[in-house]
Amino acid sequence: MHRFLFTRFTHRTLRSIILSHNAFSLLFIHRSFSVANTNHHHKDETFTLSTLVNSCRLSPETALKLSKRLQIKNPNSPNAVIQLLKTYGFSDSQLCSYVKKHPLVLLSDPEKTLLPKLKFFHSIGVSTTDLPKILIGNTNFLSKSLEKTLIPCYEIIRSLVRNDEEVVSTLKHGSWNVHSVWVVNDAVQNIEVLRQLGVPQGCISLLVSNFPSVAFAKHSKFVEAVNIVKEMGFDPSKSNFVLAVQVIAKMDKDIWESRLKIFERWGWSRDSCLLAFRKNPQCMMISEKKIMKTMSFLVKDMGFTQEDIAKSPGILNRNFEKTFVPRCAVVKILKSKGLIKRDYSITSIISISEKRFLGRFVTRFQKDAALLMDAYNGHKLD
């Protein structure tokens, strides 16, 4: 009789969760299960799960599913899962992010299901810093078979790059549907195209480990991008070839044309645009807003010509607030005080390292070094 009453009470409580998003309701339901399972686990274990569910803001429907399945599964499993993930580097906030995306992980068998997969990732060099990020970005990894899916996927990626370190980089930079065999088949065919063109392994590894979405793209789309880059005159033996492939593969024709028009507004010819692209393919990936802002600053405020910038398109990738503004502020002060006479090229100001910039334009001017450093740091903070 008491059991029947409790069952009715529990179901009534469960239904109340569906009608309310109140965090107290979620906590209350799990404490109710704590009463029902006093012979199986301790209150503090259930409270840990309750706290996690609350902080993750799981939907009432998800909370209901978890609660129902917890009656069947080992009630101690969620805490064991949480502790195992913490052992492999998950912080509390990362646990919340992961559980919100993949709540059923709490019902997994930590020893039989999760631990072998976590050990595998650790064995190929995935650090406890990187592992949570990879798993949060790819929540299906821990639900896939180690032998039938994860290891074969690893072996394919490993065949495309030089070492496990590059495999880890590939995993960090991609979102993976490891169940789709066609994705793997496309990647193998894509890389074979590059190898037949004589692209060095170092450049192939650069593409795969930093731009896996392109390396694993649909084969027909990948081949189209490669052919366009070849027609533009890129040398397959240089890294810019694969960098150009990843730009063309990602960018549709309308966006490409809009980028060309932006540069043409600043006086670049179509040939100048293509020359800049061959020198630095990434310059075409810069947003229109940043292109306009940077070009306006360099031409109108600093007096550089469009030709100066076209010859060194790589500078456009630099951070505007942290590089352009503070360095140009220092150069302006030096010119106003007559401390530098000749005009420095834009690359000699923007492209050099911070250490070299400070040595060339700040510390050598001992009398004004404090003023220059204040200007440099002040603008950098802005």
Return the SS3 of 161.
coil
Provide DSSP, 185-229: HHHHHHHHHHHHTT--HHHHHHHHHH-HHHHTS-HHHHHHHHHHH
Residues 6 or more apart whose CB falls under 8 angstroms from that of 325 comprise 297, 379, 380, 382
* pLDDT on residue 69: 61
With CA atoms as reference, report the closest residue to 339 among 300, 369, 304. Answer: 369
- Look up the pTM and report it: 0.78
Distance of alpha carbon 231 from alpha carbon 198, whole angstroms: 16
Burial 219-233 (b: 16+ CB within 10 A, else e): beebeebbeebeeee
First to last CA, the chain: 70
Distance of alpha carbon 201 from alpha carbon 12, whole angstroms: 63
Indicate if the pLDDT at residue 40 is higher than 90.
Answer: no
Residue range 208-243, pLDDT digits in tens: 999 999 999 999 999 999 999 999 999 999 999 999
Instruction: For the chain, state the CA radius of gyration.
Output: 28
Residue with tokens 């690359």: 347
Q: Is 14 exposed, middle or buried (0-12, 13-18, 19+ CB in 10 A)?
A: middle
Residue with tokens 């993930």: 85
Q: Is 214 exposed, middle or buried (0-12, 13-18, 19+ CB in 10 A)?
A: buried
Q: Own/partner pairs for 363-368, CB < 8 Å, 24+ apart?
A: 365/334, 365/339, 368/333, 368/337, 368/339
Residue range 87-102, pLDDT digits in tens: 999 998 898 889 888 8
Is the CB of residue 284 less than 8 Å from the CB of residue 259?
yes
Tally helices (H) and strands (E) across the chain. 23, 0
Residue range 270-317, pLDDT digits in tens: 999 999 999 999 999 999 999 999 999 999 988 888 888 988 999 999
Residue spans per domain, the chain: 42-141, 144-250, 252-312, 318-381
Neighbours of 212 (CB within 10 A): 21
What is the phi/psi pair of residue 192, to 5°? -65, -35
- Half-sphere exposure (Cβ direction) of 222: Cα atoms closer than 13 Å: 23
* pLDDT on residue 204: 98
Distance of alpha carbon 380 from alpha carbon 121, whole angstroms: 39
Highest-confidence range of 25-34, 101-110, 253-262, by mean pLDDT?
Answer: 253-262
